[in-house]
Structure 1
Amino acid sequence: MTGTLPGLDTHLLERVRTPMRDGAHLAGILYRDAAGPRPVMLVRTPYAEPLSRSLPVLPALDAGFAVLVQDCRGTGRSDGELRTFENETADGLDTLGWLTRQPWCDGRIVMYGMSYLGMVQLAVSGHRPGGLVAIAPTVTPDDYRDGLVYRQGAFQLGQALAWHLLTAAQLLPRNAGRDGVAAALAGLAADPESAYRALPLSDRPGLTDILPGWRTWLGRENDRKYWQGISYASRRAGTAVPALHVGGWFDLFLRGTLGNYTTMAPAGGQHLIVGPWSHADQSGITGEVYHPGGSAQAIRLEHQQLRFLRESADGAPASLPPVQVYVMGAGRWRTENEWPPARTDRQTWYLGADGSLGRDLPGAGTAEYVHDPRDPVPTVGGAILMAGSRDGGLGYQPGSRDQRLLDARTDILRFTGPVLDHDVEVTGPLTVHLHAATSAADTDFTAKLVDVHPGGRAMGIADGIVRARYRSGMDTPLPVVPGKVYEYRIDVGATSQLFRAGHRIRVDIASSNFPCFDRNPGTGTPAGQVTEDEFVPATQCVHFGPEHPSSIRLPVIPADKGDQQC
């Protein structure tokens, strides 16, 4: 089908079908200038047409691109079944090859998009396909297993359920003839709180009928060969084209965005922008905090992305700085020459048995709490993407939220630093080294960085989790000996936060963050097979002092170094 875009009599709209190597055809809408061949901006998406309306099609046309918006396999009007991530490399490479042979493409192709739309870019870029000259992935993980589905071994239940509910609902018309599917899906969507708690997790009628990936993700927790077969993690360093990576301090894939940038930076042409944003919100309001000048509109993000892609297509030097970050608490953007900033003072702040947090190594000691998986610590803010809550969704807002909601709980250890006599800027990756023992055969440990205000507000800044048996990585599960002290390295993500004079820095340690992450029963059972009757309360003992220096590593930016403001 060919038509004219309203009000743009020199532009055409066409429905096109692209052949894949296995005979399937993927549907797409092509927007192009009738005057002749142009570089093409390719957007590959698994989402329905309404979610594509926010794509910058007209600005891209104005920038001189043709634009192809293609439905991923098994979605929209495309053939096949959506098997999450499994076909994106082959389908993406086939699409790029097809584009280079079209008379309206001048041989130069760029790719654009966020989340899944960013993952499909990285799925092909490491193969160095002909014609691809630049990519612009936004809020994109660095690995499917340990980064998207799991985080240091803990199943990311909240985002997994939210994404599957959204995608299954969009695919429901393709499954209209299947008995009971719509009713089962409606039941999950109507009561996500119950859907989070129901066990075993692998049993989700409606979701599993439409998206087999739900059971695959859970059933292949330890299947290294499967995950490596679909992952682009090991191929990212092979990317030979410029890329503009965009992330948010409260995006659940922030670790991935930063990891993608640092992995690909040696190839040159890499740029990074990180704002005070969550996965789907770039307004500059995250949780309970407004960040002045922090919106995507304030820095003309879309304009920067299209300018970068156009400059890359033309082979022109990029006009963007290497790194742009928003410093929360300071309320301003700053440019850097690299990430992490080279001038960082990496400080160790030690946790003490008396609840202290400071630069001096404390004496030996321990602190205990009891973790009960039947009564997990509830999720309050953070880098989350979740559906529903008892208050209509406000309870699961991502971003910085007041942790005083959890003050009555006794299963959280809180370590608070002294009142700051000067501003302290923390910008960079965050890591907690926790020396701890558990009475259970397996458990989780969580860590949260908190900004305590003079009036008592305790605002969450960043958090992380590690599953004990995966303390050395998901490829090497190790048993836990009850009562034995292990060192757990908890990746708390990254931030750029100015802790103001008069504030205090705090670290919270617990063993659950539900329903952002699944509940660890304490038995070592794989996440998809857990049943509630095997839940085991665990006594957790955290150790401190010279032999067991539990601590957080804070990337402090020296105050006497000049800033390069955007």
Structure 2
Amino acid sequence: MRYHLLPLLLTTALAATSAAAQKLDPSMIQNGSDIPAKWQAPEAGYDYEKRVVEIPMRDGVKLHTVIFIPKGASNLPMLLERTPYDADRAKVRKLNLRDTVGALDREWVDDGYIIVFQDIRGKYGSEGKYVMTRPPIGPLNPSKTDDTTDAYDTIDWLVKNIKESNQRVGMIGSSYDGWTVTMALLGPHPALKVAAPESPMIDGWMGDDWFHYGAFRQVNLDYFAGQTTKTGKGDDVPRPGTDDYQTFLEAGTAGNWAKRHGFDQLGFWNRLSAHPAYDAFWQLQALDKHVVAKPSKVPTMWLQGLWDQEDMYGAVMTWEALKAKGLTGNNHLVMGPWYHSQVNGNAERLGPFKWKGDTAADFRRNVLIPFFNTYLKDQKPAEPLPPVLIYNAAENHWDKFADWPGTTQLTPLYLQANSGLAFQPAAAGEDSYVSDPAKPVPFLAPPLEFGDRSRWTTWLLQDQRALSTRTDVLSYKTPVLTSPVTLQGAPIADIFAKTSGTDGDFVVKLIDVFPPFVAEQPEMGGYELPISLDIFRGRYRQSFEHPTAIPAGEVQEYKFRLPTVNYVFKPGHRIMVQIQSSLFPLYDRNPQTFVPNIFFAKPEDFQKATISVQRGTAGASSVLLPVVPASTALK
């Protein structure tokens, strides 16, 4: 009987279901979709409020701005960062603000700050047109807006509309974001009370991102694709393999690489490649010149890393330019033991160095935030920030200075016969090597990938012993030191050389050679640690703006500044100087034949050249060192 009743039961159930379905309200499916037109997340449980606003600029363009305000906030200062790297980067919301903003801004939250991120115009959520490091209003920017006016208008809106604030703003940011801080200082809003440009992009031709003394940094080709192919983040250029040394060697020139990957569509690449020399295009957007021309009264910390692989030039050069004009009263220089932007992360070590704790976290808590609090909260720090604060990596401590550099006198360290170095001039002579563009000296041992962050961030500290056996690298070193040699300032490479070609590059490295055995750190035995190095394109030896061919076979002087150091060569160590003609593929190859524009050199332009470095009175090649008899650091 149960089986006979089953069809009847099923029929009854279906009829009941149909009747219930007829009673459903179709409006429960809103707008034909289960996704609401606008989702409003409940705010209960969060210890902060997130506000997303589109702040209007003076020309009507609206800039996407994300504001994090602690719950119950009252009379708090605001920390503003203007960025091309996505103001919505804190995409995953946590219940706690310090967890939402992450390690980069956690300490600011702990200290009671309103955090503000803003997309610069034309990037991510902001309206307007994006121009890479948009130049200040003037010959290169005929519009009526730039990052100076945008910062002013943003701060003006914030102080009028964020009622939980105390109407005081500090600006901070690293790299490109350091550029936006510097631009804000050219015409600061009255509410901008303090600023910290960290590793700012100041002069892209002389020594920051794009070139170093005319040699092009090919690592930036991926950056151009990431920044200028989309309003959001673009993709890196695809590779045929995993070795960028071979990939760029096969491409021939940066121009060939760019053309192959469609860069003729990218405005910034077209402008950059049309201006290989330091002409008005670069001079008019070098911010150190603008900062001096329009000095700000905003207390400013110019900050960078001693081994910054991307922007080691801008902060110290801007501070020195201000010093030359007597404008350092409200400007401080800080150089820490860090790679690019490491000040915002963990810094317990750097390459082979092991520090006493986390140097970046300690600096943020004990120096950076108290500096901001002085002007944003009227809280005097336990110890005021000295004019100059620079880490001494050899002795593993911070040094405070009333002035910098420690000396204005430079002591020549002369190249000697038999690969020697000494503080006395050498007998006349020369040392030669053949520079072959087909076999350029690598900046890192191949295979290498620009995207390998661990190697990229520490390449400036890599052991140089592997290069000592190359026949196209000259290595000179002192006898074992019996007393310390203390350097405080920027070394100067002063190389006299002749070449069989009509162009060429010179790379000079100042190196600390460790003893064969180091008891405290055995892996450092014999380590050749670069302290300061850079590259110089020979065609600019007489003028950065007007390049000239090198007269083949004639001795020429190549004199250029190396990065700043605060370092002690200890007894038992040696000082080494290395000279070579390439750092590939980080820097593009010089064809060693003078051509109008190296970006577009032809294969036949690339020729071997014999380089002869001179010693002796007629051509006393040396590195001029800022030697101090004893540290000038404040006690």
Tell me the TM-score range normalised by the shorter chain: 0.7 to 0.9
Q: Distance in 2 between matches of 1:174 and 1:284?
A: 30
Q: CA RMSD in A?
A: 3.2
Q: Distance in 2 between matches of 1:146 and 1:35?
A: 45
Q: Distance in 2 between matches of 1:421 and 1:476?
A: 46
- Of the candidates 15, 22, 25, which is equivalent to residue 52 of structure 2? 15
Corresponding residue of 1:249: 306
User: What is the correspondence of 1:63-462 to structure 2 with a 5 Å cutoff?
Assistant: 63-86=111-134, 90-101=146-157, 102-104=160-162, 107-148=167-208, 149-158=210-219, 160-164=220-224, 166-167=226-227, 171=230, 185-187=237-239, 192-197=244-249, 198-202=251-255, 203-204=257-258, 208=263, 212-222=267-277, 224-237=279-292, 238-252=295-309, 253-265=311-323, 266-267=326-327, 268-282=329-343, 283-293=347-357, 295-297=359-361, 299-313=362-376, 319-342=384-407, 346-380=410-444, 387-388=450-451, 394=455, 397-455=458-516, 456-462=526-532
User: What is the correspondence of 1:398-547 to structure 2 with a 5 Å cutoff?
Assistant: 398-455=459-516, 456-525=526-595, 526-547=597-618
Residue by residue, what CA displacement relative to the aligned partner does 1:509-545 show, whole Å, maximum 9, x if unpaired?
Answer: 1111112211100123323213433211111111121
Structure number with larger C-alpha Rg: 2
Tell me the CA shift for residue 398 of structure 1: 2.5
Tell me the CA shift for residue 316 of structure 1: 6.8
Aligned residue identity for 1:45: T
Closer/same/farther in 2, CA of residues 276 and 542 from structure 1, 3 Å limit? same
Residues 513 and 528 in structure 2, CA contact (< 8 A), matched pair in contact too: yes
Residues 126 and 240 in structure 1, CA contact (< 8 A), matched pair in contact too: no
Q: Distance in 1 between matches of 2:87 and 2:495?
A: 46
User: Is residue 60 of structure 1 aligned with residue 93 of structure 2?
Assistant: no
**Could you say what secondary structure the match of 1:147 adopts?**
coil
Residue by residue, what CA displacement relative to the aligned partner does 1:372-407 show, whole Å, maximum 9, x if unpaired?
Answer: 1111111049xxx97246xx9647733422111112
Closer/same/farther in 2, CA of residues 192 and 92 from structure 1, 3 Å limit? farther
Once the two structures are overlaid, the 10-residue window that deviates more, 96-105 or 440-449, is 96-105
Tell me the CA shift for residue 332 of structure 1: 1.8
What is the aligned residue count? 547
Residue by residue, what CA displacement relative to the aligned partner does 1:95-151 show, whole Å, maximum 9, x if unpaired?
Answer: 323422423265533210111111111123123444322210111243122222111
**Could you say what secondary structure the match of 1:27 adopts?**
strand
Once the two structures are overlaid, the 10-residue window that deviates more, 57-66 or 457-466, is 57-66
Tell me the CA shift for residue 294 of structure 1: 6.3
Unaligned stretches of 5+ residues in structure 2:
1-37, 91-100, 137-144, 517-525
Aligned residue identity for 2:399: R
Residue by residue, what CA displacement relative to the aligned partner does 1:347-384 show, whole Å, maximum 9, x if unpaired?
Answer: 21111243221111112111111111111111049xxx
Once the two structures are overlaid, the 10-residue window that deviates more, 496-505 or 259-268, is 259-268
Closer/same/farther in 2, CA of residues 208 and 544 from structure 1, 3 Å limit? same
**Could you say what secondary structure the match of 2:342 adopts?**
coil
Tell me the CA shift for residue 77 of structure 1: 0.9
Aligned residue identity for 1:222: A
Q: Distance in 1 between matches of 2:586 and 2:332?
A: 30
**Could you say what secondary structure the match of 2:291 adopts?**
helix
Aligned residue identity for 2:303: V
Q: Distance in 2 between matches of 1:231 and 1:562?
A: 31
Residues 239 and 264 in structure 1, CA contact (< 8 A), matched pair in contact too: no
Q: Distance in 2 between matches of 1:4 and 1:491?
A: 57
**Could you say what secondary structure the match of 1:145 adopts?**
coil
Q: Distance in 2 between matches of 1:546 and 1:70?
A: 58
Tell me the CA shift for residue 491 of structure 1: 1.9
Residue by residue, what CA displacement relative to the aligned partner does 1:383-432 show, whole Å, maximum 9, x if unpaired?
Answer: xx97246xx96477334221111122111111111110112222321111
Aligned residue identity for 1:522: Q
Q: Distance in 2 between matches of 1:484 and 1:514?
A: 26
Q: TM-score with structure 1 length normalisation? A: 0.87
Q: Distance in 2 between matches of 1:482 and 1:6?
A: 76
Closer/same/farther in 2, CA of residues 188 and 142 from structure 1, 3 Å limit? farther
Q: Distance in 1 between matches of 2:223 and 2:449?
A: 8
Residue by residue, what CA displacement relative to the aligned partner does 1:527-564 show, whole Å, maximum 9, x if unpaired?
Answer: 321343321111111112112121111122323x5754
Residues 377 and 513 in structure 1, CA contact (< 8 A), matched pair in contact too: yes
Corresponding residue of 1:41: 79
Tell me the CA shift for residue 293 of structure 1: 4.3
Tell me the CA shift for residue 200 of structure 1: 3.5
Q: Distance in 2 between matches of 1:95 and 1:360?
A: 54
Percentage of pairs with the same residue: 28
**Could you say what secondary structure the match of 1:300 adopts?**
helix
Once the two structures are overlaid, the 10-residue window that deviates more, 283-292 or 258-267, is 283-292
Closer/same/farther in 2, CA of residues 46 and 245 from structure 1, 3 Å limit? same
